[in-house]
Amino acid sequence: MDAPYDRLFSVLLESRERQCFPSEIRTAAPEFVQHVLGLLFPHFAERVECGAAAVRRDVMAVEANLVRLLALLGPLYPGTDATIPQRFMEELPDIYDFLRQDAQAIYEADPAARSVDEVLLTYPGFYAIAIFRVAHALHALGMPLLPRLLTEFAHQRTGVDIHPGATIGRRFVIDHGTGVVIGETTVIGDGVKLYQGVTLGALVVEKSLSDKKRHPTLEDDVVVYANATILGGGTVVGRGSIIAGNAWLTQSVPPQSVVSRRTEVRHRTSSAAEELGELEFHI
C-alpha cells in the first residue's frame, strides 16, 4: 500500500518541476507600482527627500526593482527583452505628464473636489488610472504578466477593471469608479469621462477573437453616465456624444449624439411592458 499522501506528493512534485512559479511576484508587483507612484507623486511615498541626490537614488531604485521582477519572470518567459527596465524609465516623464493632466481633469470635472492634492490622495478613479498608465507602458514594451498583475491589483483596490492593453487618451476622468470595466481593445480619445458602473466590453466572447478588436471606440470628449453598457469592436461613439445612464449600446452613433433610454411609467397590468427601455438617440 502506498504511504499516506504519496499520490498528492507525486502530483505536486511533477507540477513544480514543470513550472516552479516565483511566488514572490504576487507581492512584489503591488510594491513595484507603489514605488513608481511614490517616485512620481510624493503623495504615495512613504518617505520623501527633495534633493537631487535623493531623486536620483529613487529613480535608480525603481529601475532596480523592475530589473528584479524581470529576472524573476525571465525563466518563465524566455526571450523577453532585457532592455525593458531602461526603456520603461525613459517613458516615465510622459506617464507623469499624462497623470498630471488626468488629475487636473478630474478636479475640474467634480465640483466636490477642493484641490488636485485631494484628487491624488482620495479618488479611486485617479488611482486606477495611475496604475493603468504604468501597466499600459509595460504592456506596450512587452513585459510579461506584470501589467495584468498591476491592473488586477488596482481592480481589487478600486473596483475599476482596466485591461492594460486598452488605449486611453489624455485628460481621462473616472468618477466614483466602482464597477467600471474597460476591455483590452477599447480605444478612448482625449477628454472622455466615465461614471461608475460603465462597461466598455465585447459583444461576442470567443477565444478565437483574441487578436480582433472586440471593444468599442469612444472619440474625444464623450461622456458616459452611470451603468451604461457599450459593446462591440465596431461600435464607435462619435466625438462629443453623451450616453445616458443605463443605456445599452451596440451600434455606432455619430458625433454630438445624445443616447438615452426612454423612461415610461405604465400600469402594472399593461401588456406592453416589454417596450420599456427602448433606445433613443438624438443628434
Q: Does 280 score more than 70 pLDDT?
A: no
Residue 185 binned pLDDT confidence (cut-offs 50, 70, 90): very high
Q: Which pLDDT tens digit goes with each residue over 48-77?
A: 778 888 889 999 999 999 999 999 998 889
Q: Does 273 score more than 50 pLDDT?
A: no
Please give the mean pLDDT across all residues of the chain: 91
Please report the beta strands in the chain, taking only residues with DSSP state E, as ranges in sequence order: 161-162, 167-168, 173-174, 181-182, 187-188, 193-194, 199-201, 217-218, 223-224, 229-231, 236-237, 242-243, 248-249, 258-261, 279-282
Q: Does 272 score more than 60 pLDDT?
A: no
Polymer length of the chain: 283
**pLDDT (0 to 100) of residue 95:** 98
Q: Which pLDDT tens digit goes with each residue over 91-133?
A: 999 999 999 999 999 999 999 999 999 999 999 999 999 999 9
pTM above 0.75, yes or no: yes
Q: Are 193 and 176 in contact (CB under 8 A)?
A: no
Quote the CA–CA distance of 218 and 196 in Å, as a whole number.
16
What are the residues whose beta carbons fall under 8 Å from the beta carbon of 188, sequence distance 6 or more?
166, 167, 168, 169, 172, 182, 200, 217, 218, 222
Instruction: Compute φ and ψ for 63, nearest 5 degrees.
Output: -65, -40
Q: Which pLDDT tens digit goes with each residue over 4-17?
A: 788 888 888 888 87
